[in-house]
Structure 1
Amino acid sequence: MRDFFKYVFATVVGIVISTVILFVLFFVVMVAIVSSVGEEKKVMVKNNSILYLNLDQEITERTPDNSLAGIPIFGGGSEKTIGFNDVIKALKAAKTDDKINGVYMNVSAPNAGMATMLEVRNAILDFKTSRKPVIAYSEVYSQGAYYLASAASKVYLNPQGGLEFKGFSAELTFFKGALDKLGIEAQIIRVGNYKSAVEPFINTKMSDYNRKQVTAYVAGLYQTFLEGISASRNISTAELSAMADAYKIQQPQDALTYKLVDGIKYKDEVLDELRALTNKDKKRSIDIVSINDYAANLPSHHTTTGKNSIAVIYANGDIVGGEGSDEQIGSERISRAIRKARLDDNIKAIVLRVNSGGGSALASEVIWREVSLSKKIKPVIASFGDVAASGGYYIGAAADSIFVQPNTITGSIGVFGIIPNFQNLLNNKLGITFDGVKTGQYADIMSVNRPLTAGERFIIQNSVNHIYDTFLTRVAEGRKKTKAQIDSIGGGHVWIGTDAIKNGLADRLGSFNDAIKSAAKKAKLSDYKIVEYPEKIDPLKSLLTDAKDNISLYYTKKELGENYLLYKQMQKAITNAGIQAKMDYELRIK
Structure 2
Amino acid sequence: MKEFFKYVFATVVGIVISTFVLAFIFVLLIVGFVASIGDKELVEVKSNSVLSLNLDQAITERTPDNSLAGIPILGGGEEKSIGFYDVIKALKAAKDDDKIECVYINVSSPNAGMATMLEVRNAIIDFRKSKKPVIAYSEVYTQGAYFLASAADKVYLNPQGALEFKGFSSELMFFKGALDKLGIEAQIIRVGNYKSAVEPFINTKMSDYNRKQVSAYVGGLYDTFLTGISKSRNISKDSLLVIANEYKIQFPKDALAYKMVDALKYKDQVLDELRNITGKDKKSTVNTVSINDYIANLPAEGSTEKDKVAVIYANGDIVGGEGSDEQIGSERISRAIRKARLDDNVKAIVLRVNSGGGSALASDVIWREIILSKKVKPVIASFGDVAASGGYYIGCAADSIFVQPNTITGSIGVFGIIPNFQNLLNNKLGITFDGVKTGQYADIMSTTRPLTAGERFIIQNDVNHVYDSFITRVADGRKKTKAQVDSIGGGHVWIGTDAVKNGLADRLGSFTDAIKSAAKKAKITDYKIVEYPEKIDPLKNLLSNAKENISVYYTKKELGENYLIFKQMQKAVINSGVQARMDYEIKIK
Sort the TM-score into its range (normalised by shorter chain): over 0.9
The residue correspondences of 1:14-53 to structure 2 (distance < 5 A) are 26-27=26-27, 29-36=29-36, 38-39=38-39, 41-53=41-53
For the 8 Å contact 1:107–1:141, the answer to whether it is kept is yes
Compute the displacement of 1:35 (Å). 2.0
Mean CA deviation greater in 505-514 or 24-33: 24-33
Determine the structure 2 residue equivalent to 1:258: 258
Residue 507 of structure 2 is matched in structure 1 by 508
Does residue 523 in structure 1 map to residue 547 in structure 2? no
Aligned to 2:299: 299
2:138 paired residue number: 138
Aligned partners of 1:192, 1:251: CA distance in 2, in Å? Answer: 46
| Aligned mates of 1:24, 1:323 — CA distance in 2 | 28
The alpha carbon displacement at 1:237 in A equals 0.3
Establish whether residue 172 from structure 1 lines up as the match of residue 172 from structure 2. yes
**Amino acid aligned to 2:546:** A
- State the Cα distance separating 1:12 from its structure 2 match: 9.4
| Counterpart code for 1:380 | V
For 1:225, give the aligned amino acid. F
Matched residue, 2:228: 228
Cα distance between partner residues in 2 of 1:202 and 1:576: 17
TM-superposed deviation, 1:279 = 1.0
The SS at the match of 2:402 is strand
Aligned-pair CA distance for 1:541? 1.0
Q: Percent identity?
A: 81
Residues 338-417 of structure 1: pairs in structure 2 closer than 5 A: 338-417=337-416
The 5-angstrom pairing of residues 401-550 of structure 1 reads 401-550=400-549
CA distance in 2, matches of 1:21, 1:281: 58
Counterparts of residues 153-168 of structure 1 (less than 5 Å):
153-168=153-168
CA distance in 2: counterparts of 1:474 and 1:287, whole angstroms:
54
> Greater CA deviation, 275-284 or 212-221?
275-284
Q: Which runs of 5+ in 2 are unaligned?
A: none
Structure 1 residues 25, 489: closer, same or farther in 2, change over 3 A? Answer: same
Output one character per residue of 1:234-278: Cα deviation in whole Å (capped at 9) or x when no partner. Answer: 000000001000000000000000000000011111011111111
Query: Given that residues 34 and 67 in structure 2 are in contact (C-alpha distance below 8 angstroms), is that contact kept between their aligned partners in structure 1?
Result: no
For 2:318 and 2:328, how far apart are their aligned partners in 1?
A: 5
The reply on whether 1:105 has 2:115 as its aligned counterpart is no
C-alpha separation in 1, matches of 2:366 and 2:39: 33
Shift of 1:38: 3.7
Change (3 A) 1:399 1:436: same
Equivalent residues of 2:31, 2:539 under 8 A apart: no
Please say if residues 163 and 255 of structure 2, whose CA atoms lie closer than 8 Å, have aligned partners that are also in contact.
Answer: yes
CA gap of 1:44–1:493, structure 2 versus 1, over 3 A, is same
| Correspondence list, 1:194-205, <5 A | 194-205=194-205
**SS of the counterpart of 1:315?**
strand
Q: For the Cα contact (< 8 Å) 1:164–1:249, is it kept in 2?
A: yes
Give TM-score scaled by structure 2 length.
0.96
Shift in Å, 1:36 = 2.8
* Offset, 1:142: 0.3
What is the TM-score with the length of structure 1 in the denominator?
A: 0.96
Runs of 4+ deviating beyond 4 Å: 11-25
Confirm or deny: 8 A CA contact 1:64 1:83 kept in the other structure.
yes
Are the equivalent residues in 2 in contact too, given 1:193–1:492 (CA < 8 A)?
Answer: yes
Rounded to whole Å, the distance in 2 between the matches of 1:453 and 1:16 is: 55
Closer, same or farther: CA 27–401 of 1 in aligned 2, 3 Å: closer
Q: Distance between the aligned counterparts of 1:66 and 1:20, measured in 2? A: 28
d(CA) in 2 for partners of 1:25, 1:340: 37
Residue equivalent to 1:319: 318
Residues paired across the two proteins, number: 586
Aligned CA-pair RMSD: 2.1
Aligned to 1:74: 74
Residue in 1 that maps onto 2:241: 241
Deviation at 1:544, TM superposition (A): 1.1
8 Å CA contact 2:381–2:401 kept in 1: the answer is: yes
Partner Cα separation in structure 2 for residue 391 and residue 16 of structure 1: 49
**TM-aligned CA deviation for residue 77 of structure 1:** 1.1
Equivalent position of 2:120 in the other structure: 120
Alignment partners' CA distance in 2, 1:44 and 1:421: 62
Q: CA deviation at 1:22?
A: 5.2
Query: What is the one-letter code of the residue matched to 2:528?
Result: K
- Using the TM superposition, give the Cα deviation of residue 21 of structure 1 relative to its aligned residue in structure 2, in angstroms: 9.1
Q: Alpha-carbon deviation of 1:41? A: 4.4
Question: Taking structure 1 as reference, are residues 482 and 14 closer, same or farther at Cα in structure 2, changes over 3 Å only?
Answer: closer
Deviation track 1:515-572 (CA, whole Å, cap 9, x = no partner) reads 0000000000011010100000111110111001111111111111111111111111
> 1:559 corresponds to which letter in structure 2?
E
* 1:333 aligned partner, one-letter code: R
1:40–1:296 CA contact under 8 A, matched in 2? no
